[in-house]
Amino acid sequence: MRYIMELATAFLGSLGFAMLFHVRSQKLLLASLGGLLAWGIYLLMGLVTDQDVVRYFVSSVVLTVYAESLARIVKCPATLFIVTAAVPLIPGGSLYHTMEYFMRNDLAACSAQGLTTVLLAVAIAVGILFPTSIFQLVQRIGIFAKKSHK
């Protein structure tokens, strides 16, 4: 029940952000499904490992592959799908708790929570960059292959 609630709100949250960034028509649905996918993968990875960093990493790899492939199918910038689908992964709660501990003068908890926030952000960043670079590489190889045929 808890999982269904999380998936539904991940979908709605991504939908909200897609609308906030003025995304239109069918892309609105595709972008929100990306958010659902991202959180779904995160939950599924929970069966394999309880390392949050690994779960965030795999989830953002999958969502980037989803976004880059869609960008080529519907012919629009991949950023549109990445930005909206990555929203449920943003460690906003963790960031808030970091600052909360800081205000309570609990510096030990603050630094531990802060480190978690940073590590999660790094996991997401690397997870997004890794497939993007591979997609770019494949595209470049494709261009070279075309040129050498001429």
Partner 1 sequence: METNNQTLPPDYAARLTVMAEAEQANEYLFQILEIGQHMLQCGGEVSRVEDSIRRMCIAYGAERADVFSITSSIVVTIHAHRFGSLTQTRRISGQQYDLHRLELLNHLSRRLCTERLSLEDTERALDAILSAPQYSFGVQLMTYALISASFSLFFGGSVLDAAASGIIGVVLKYLDRMIRKTEANAFLSALLCSCLGGLLSGLAVRTGLGDNMDMISIGNIMLLIPGIALTNSLRDMFSGNTLAGLMRFIEALLLAMTIAFGFALVAGLM
Q: Which residues bind partner 1 (CB under 8 A)?
A: 5-6, 9-10, 12-13, 15-24, 75-77, 79-80, 82-84, 86-88, 90, 92-93, 95-100, 102-104, 121, 125, 128-129, 132-133, 136
Nearest-5° Cα angle at 31, 69 to 128: 55
For residue 96, give Cα distances in angstroms to 60, 111, 114.
22, 13, 10
Q: How far is the CB of 20 from partner 1 (least distance, A)?
A: 5
> What are the residues whose beta carbons fall under 8 Å from the beta carbon of 75, sequence distance 6 or more?
none
Q: How far is the CB of 139 from partner 1 (least distance, A)?
A: 12
Residue with smaller CB distance to partner 1, 9 or 54: 9
Residue with smaller CB distance to partner 1, 102 or 119: 102
Tell which residue, 51, 48, 17, 47, has the closest CA to residue 35: 17
